[in-house]
Amino acid sequence: MTYYSLNKQAPKTSFKDAVIKGLAPDKGLYFPESITPLSHSFFKNIDSLSNSEIAFETIKQFTSPDIPNDVLKNIIDDTLSFNFPIEKITDTVSSLELFHGPTMAFKDVGARFMARCLGYFNQGNNNEVTVLVATSGDTGGAVANGFLGVEGVNVVILYPSGKVSDIQEKQLTTLKKNIKALEVDGTFDDCQAMVKRAFLDQSITSKMQLTSANSINVARWLPQMFYFMFAYKQLHKKYNNLVFSVPSGNFGNICAGMMAQRLGFPIKHFIAANNANNIVTQYLHTQNYTPKPSIQTISNAMDVGDPSNFVRIQELHNNNFEILSKNLSGYSYSDTETISAINELYSDYNYIADPHGAVGFLACKDYLKQHPNNHCVFLETAHPTKFLDIVEDTIKENIELPKQILSVMDKEKQAVKISTYEQLKALLLN
């Protein structure tokens, strides 16, 4: 597959090069030059395909010819070693649980897939790659876990000080080895801006190969398509009117869902479920896209004031507002509303949701009020114990900690505090 930069000022490139560079030299996000819908027989036979087979059939056009089929199959088998179950909440609402991986947030699939692709590209050469990643909570832990011990790869994670949960912080600061955490005095947007600036800083890039493990990297973003496909496989016999409510921050996940739709998956509509960081919801109401400094909320991983992937969403809809607004709705909720939703899910349906999933549930309910006769799937993007204090205080129950969480609880945090880009640069160059 050939990829082009959405800023259209950089040469086209291969999958391998797009993964190794992360961001195009003109600061644009890479985008596939073609998207070929899957065959009729794929959809006819989907019930007999395993998750790995579905993933292989859907992603191979984007990785070929740089990753041979047998290698791709192994990467996928290794990546998808856990389940993606659906829980029925009501007759019209289901939860797609994406938190059964090693760090218990949906980022595990993309991070593991990308780590394995980079590991493959690095085999037999001595060129070290430094993966720079900005996190508002979950990407950092998933990338730390996915890239731990990958040869020739050093990982540097920037996270906003005091704005991630205790467990998220443990997951991204305790692994050591090739993983370094930088605690930034600022917001997620400050972290993301520093990372993007480093990619364009020739005094750094002339000395080291930098890449990104945020969803700006095609190998982190594209595997997120799988979730929508696995949900379709589980639900298509029961419902022919599926809409997805996606708790959104950087908009990589929902954009991956739209890629699945372009491949032929019959998804009727997407709902961007936002917290108070409602840039896209506002855009859908006003047609004005106005990035703002992010606001701290209890669904912290969505505290993004300038979502990177919105440009990809626009590209997928021909940069045409009419087309986009037919396919995407947006809703935004306060922390108080989120807490009520956690309560409602627990007391009425015996379901323990995390704050991100709860925002997704609220958006399903509001969409269905205006558009009945659909079945709404909200993505439960993180395990509730990642936000232990909030969830336990809300439902007034203790929740059992899964082994993935217990394994990091007592580890010692190791992070370097920084507050400026110059400090990041000095750390990278040393």
Ligand X SMILES: Cc1ncc(COP(=O)(O)O)c(C=O)c1O
Instruction: Tell which positions 131-150 bind ligand LJ64HWYM, by CB under 6 A.
Output: 135-140
Site size for ligand LJ64HWYM (CB under 6 A): 13
C-alpha count within 13 angstroms, C-beta hemisphere, residue 211: 28
- Sequence-distant (6+) residues with CB within 8 A of 272 are 246, 248, 251, 254, 280, 281, 284, 328, 329, 330, 331, 363
One DSSP character per residue, 192-237 reads HHHHHHHHT-HHHHTTSEEEE-STTSHHHHGGGHHHHHHHHHHHTT
32 touches ligand X (CB under 6 A): no
**CB of 145 or CB of 374, closer to ligand LJ64HWYM:** 145
160 touches ligand X (CB under 6 A): no
The runs of H, that is alpha helices, within 287-354 are 310-316, 321-327, 335-349
Q: How far apart are CA 75 and CA 222, in angstroms?
A: 14
Which residue's structure tokens are 């022919």?
A: 240
298 touches ligand X (CB under 6 A): no
Residue 251 interacts with which of ligand LJ64HWYM, ligand X, none, CB < 5 to 8 Å by class:
ligand X
Which H or E run includes 270? strand 269-274
Residue 247 interacts with which of ligand X, ligand LJ64HWYM, none, CB < 5 to 8 Å by class:
ligand X
**CB of 24 or CB of 255, closer to ligand X:** 255
On whether the CB atoms of residues 42 and 208 are closer than 8 A, the answer is no
**CB of 174 or CB of 374, closer to ligand LJ64HWYM:** 174
Number of separate helices (H) and strands (E) present in the chain: 20, 14
The 101-130 site mask, x for binding ligand LJ64HWYM (CB under 6 A), equals: ------------------------------
Q: How far apart are CA 231 and CA 229, in angstroms?
A: 5
On whether the CB atoms of residues 224 and 106 are closer than 8 A, the answer is yes
360 touches ligand LJ64HWYM (CB under 6 A): no
CB of 23 to ligand LJ64HWYM, least distance (A): 12
140 touches ligand X (CB under 6 A): no
**CB of 173 or CB of 253, closer to ligand X:** 253
252 touches ligand LJ64HWYM (CB under 6 A): yes
Instruction: Tell which positions 190-219 bind ligand LJ64HWYM, by CB under 6 A.
Output: 214-215
Stretch that binds ligand LJ64HWYM, among 24-32, 70-78, 247-255, 408-416 (CB under 6 A): 247-255
307 touches ligand LJ64HWYM (CB under 6 A): no
CB of 426 to ligand LJ64HWYM, least distance (A): 24
On whether the CB atoms of residues 278 and 329 are closer than 8 A, the answer is no
Phi, psi torsion values for 252, nearest 5 degrees:
-75, -40
- Sequence-distant (6+) residues with CB within 8 A of 395 are 342, 343, 346, 352
301 touches ligand X (CB under 6 A): yes
Instruction: Tell which positions 212-241 bind ligand X, by CB under 6 A.
Output: 215
357 touches ligand LJ64HWYM (CB under 6 A): no
332 touches ligand LJ64HWYM (CB under 6 A): no
- Sequence-distant (6+) residues with CB within 8 A of 226 are 51, 54, 55, 58, 59, 80, 84, 109
Among 184, 260, 279, 382, binds ligand X (CB under 6 A): 382
| 65 prior amide bond cis, ω within 30 | yes
On whether the CB atoms of residues 363 and 331 are closer than 8 A, the answer is yes
Give the residues lining the site for ligand LJ64HWYM (CB under 6 A): 135-140, 214-215, 249-250, 252, 301, 308
Give the residues lining the site for ligand X (CB under 6 A): 105, 137-138, 215, 247-253, 301-302, 356, 381-382
